[in-house]
């Protein structure tokens, strides 16, 4: 009875928040519900088949793709597809869909141990692990150790893990059941040493092994190669996604592995993945003052590396925007880990609350730029029919609010 009351009050608070224009209500309902019933998340998760999705990058997109891939099961699926990925957000997502037998929940890297314990998941997805929000999150080797301990204590859980990331592979290695996916790892600056013994890792293409101990890349069941996925039977199929970039192809292969664990046929799951064209506003195009604007999100060096690869080629101008609010992380020193030299030769505009930090970084890479105050000034200065916008989290959300909330 108390859990039902907490859910009802929390839902009412979320509705009031939306009507007041204070956001989509995806967190406040969970916060209030948990204050009334501290174990509300566990109560709401009981009896459901839960998938937890975590990693430094790609959580929101992979959560959306898994939700799509599981849709042929014909069940309602609870999900926090807009990225509220801590305890309150997960609680709110389950509260909104009390009768959904399946839940696919994006989960902040730091909270995986607690969320595994609270939700008793059927599947945990581990995508990647690299530096992000160092002023808030723990050091990544410590996170990997906590993941490993949590998964080792969850014998009924299947893990779907990226075998190409040594930190992820080591963390997943303690689980009883692991499906290994060759999803790739372009950003390697955080994983040159063995997480087991600390020695230097030997690397050859995507393969890796430790010089001093037995730790090495595990054998994989699912492989991304070019634009194709190779399934455990060895059959290759074209992905043909609407979402751009190699990172999204990797996310899709992970989603297929999860769908397979639920008994969804690969062909049916692929058809659903191909129908996904946007994820919480990412990759959508909006026309503003006669200019077609495409929104891209990147929040750390690994994410910017992937996002820069999917920019439209020159001479299409680009607006880069960086904030340093709580959800972004206050520390902008990570900007120095991004190679901006590839932006030479095109019009580059710089916005956001920390645009001067980004401007100094671009000067160091000898990339000419102009500072802008808002999206309309960027459109005017670009003077082009297209504009690519690459922003970190809160800057991205600010642009979405100005341009109109996109799906």
pLDDT at res. 29: 81
CA neighbor of 224 nearest in space, from 248, 244, 201: 248
128-144: per-residue pLDDT in tens?
Answer: 999 876 555 558 999 99
pLDDT at res. 329: 87
139-159: per-residue pLDDT in tens?
Answer: 899 999 999 999 999 999 999
Answer yes or no: is pLDDT of 13 > 70: no
68-88: per-residue pLDDT in tens?
Answer: 999 999 999 999 977 789 999
Choose between 101 and 24: higher pLDDT.
Answer: 101
Place of tokens 């090495």: 216
Q: Is residue 383 packed enough to be buried (19+ CB in 10 Å), middle (13-18) or exposed (0-12)?
A: exposed
Average pLDDT over residues 3-24: 46
235-252: per-residue pLDDT in tens?
Answer: 999 999 999 999 999 999
Answer yes or no: is pLDDT of 92 > 60: yes
- Measured between alpha carbons, how far apart are the two ends of the chain, in Å? 35
Place of tokens 């992380």: 329
Structure tokens, 31: 């916060």
Kindly list the distances between the CA atom of residue 309 and the CA atoms of 55, 240, 247, 250, 385, in Å, as whole numbers in the listed order: 20, 18, 10, 14, 21
**Residues near 43 by beta carbon (within 8 Å), at least 6 away in sequence:** 3, 37
pLDDT at res. 83: 76
225-234: per-residue pLDDT in tens?
Answer: 999 999 999 9
Asked if residue 54 lies in contact with residue 127, where contact means CB atoms within 8 angstroms, the answer is yes
- Average pLDDT over the chain reads 91
pLDDT at res. 284: 84
Average pLDDT over residues 5-21: 44
Phi, psi at 182, each rounded to 5°: -85, 85
DSSP assignment of 143-174 equals HHHHHHHHHHT-TT-EEEEETTSHHHHHHHTT
288-346: per-residue pLDDT in tens?
Answer: 999 999 999 998 999 999 999 999 999 999 999 999 998 888 889 999 999 999 999 99
190-215: per-residue pLDDT in tens?
Answer: 899 999 999 999 999 889 999 999 99
Structure tokens, 255: 């989603």
Answer yes or no: is pLDDT of 223 > 80: yes
Structure tokens, 97: 């869909």
**Range list of H helices, 231-300:** 246-261, 266-274
Average pLDDT over residues 347-358: 97
Whole-number percent of the chain with pLDDT over 90: 82
357-394: per-residue pLDDT in tens?
Answer: 999 999 999 999 999 999 999 999 999 999 999 999 99
Structure tokens, 312: 């439209």
pLDDT at res. 12: 40
């Amino acid at each position: 009875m108390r859990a039902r009351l907490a859910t009802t009050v929390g839902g009412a608070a979320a509705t009031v928040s939306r009507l007041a224009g204070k956001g989509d209500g995806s967190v406040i309902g969970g916060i209030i519900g948990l204050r009334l019933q501290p174990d509300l998340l566990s109560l709401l998760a009981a009896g459901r088949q839960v998938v937890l999705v975590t990693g430094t990058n790609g959580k929101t997109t992979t959560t959306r793709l898994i939700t799509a891939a599981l849709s042929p099961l014909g069940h309602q699926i609870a999900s926090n597809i807009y990225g509220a990925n801590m305890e309150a957000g997960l609680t709110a997502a389950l509260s909104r869909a009390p009768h959904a037998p399946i839940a696919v929940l994006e989960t902040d890297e730091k909270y995986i141990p607690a969320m595994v314990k609270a939700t008793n998941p059927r599947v945990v997805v581990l995508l990647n692990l690299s530096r992000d929000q160092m002023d808030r999150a723990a050091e990544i080797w410590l996170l990997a150790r906590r993941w490993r301990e949590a998964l080792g204590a969850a014998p009924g859980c299947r893990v779907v893990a990226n075998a190409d990331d040594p930190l992820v592979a080591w963390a997943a290695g303690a689980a009883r059941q692991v499906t290994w996916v060759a999803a790739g790892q372009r950003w390697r600056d955080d994983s040159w040493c063995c997480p087991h013994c600390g020695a230097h890792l030997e690397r050859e293409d995507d393969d890796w092994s430790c010089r001093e101990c037995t730790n090495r890349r595990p054998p994989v069941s699912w492989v991304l190669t070019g634009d194709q996925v190779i399934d455990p039977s060895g059959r290759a199929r074209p992905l043909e996604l609407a979402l751009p970039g190699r990172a999204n192809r990797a996310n899709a292969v992970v989603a297929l592995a999860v769908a397979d664990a639920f008994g969804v046929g690969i062909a049916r799951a692929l058809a659903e993945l191909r129908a996904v064209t946007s994820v919480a506003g990412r990759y959508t195009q909006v026309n503003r003052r006669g200019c077609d604007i495409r929104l891209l999100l990147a929040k750390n060096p690994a994410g910017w590396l992937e996002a820069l690869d999917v920019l439209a080629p020159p001479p299409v101008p680009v607006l880069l925007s960086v904030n340093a609010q709580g959800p972004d992380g206050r520390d902008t020193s990570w900007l120095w880990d991004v190679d901006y030299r590839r932006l030479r030769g095109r019009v580059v505009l710089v916005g956001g609350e920390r645009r001067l930090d980004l401007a100094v970084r671009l000067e160091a890479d000898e990339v000419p730029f102009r500072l802008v105050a808002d999206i309309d000034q960027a459109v005017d200065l670009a003077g082009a029919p297209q504009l690519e916008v690459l922003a970190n989290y809160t800057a991205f959300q600010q642009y979405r609010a100005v341009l109109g909330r996109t799906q």
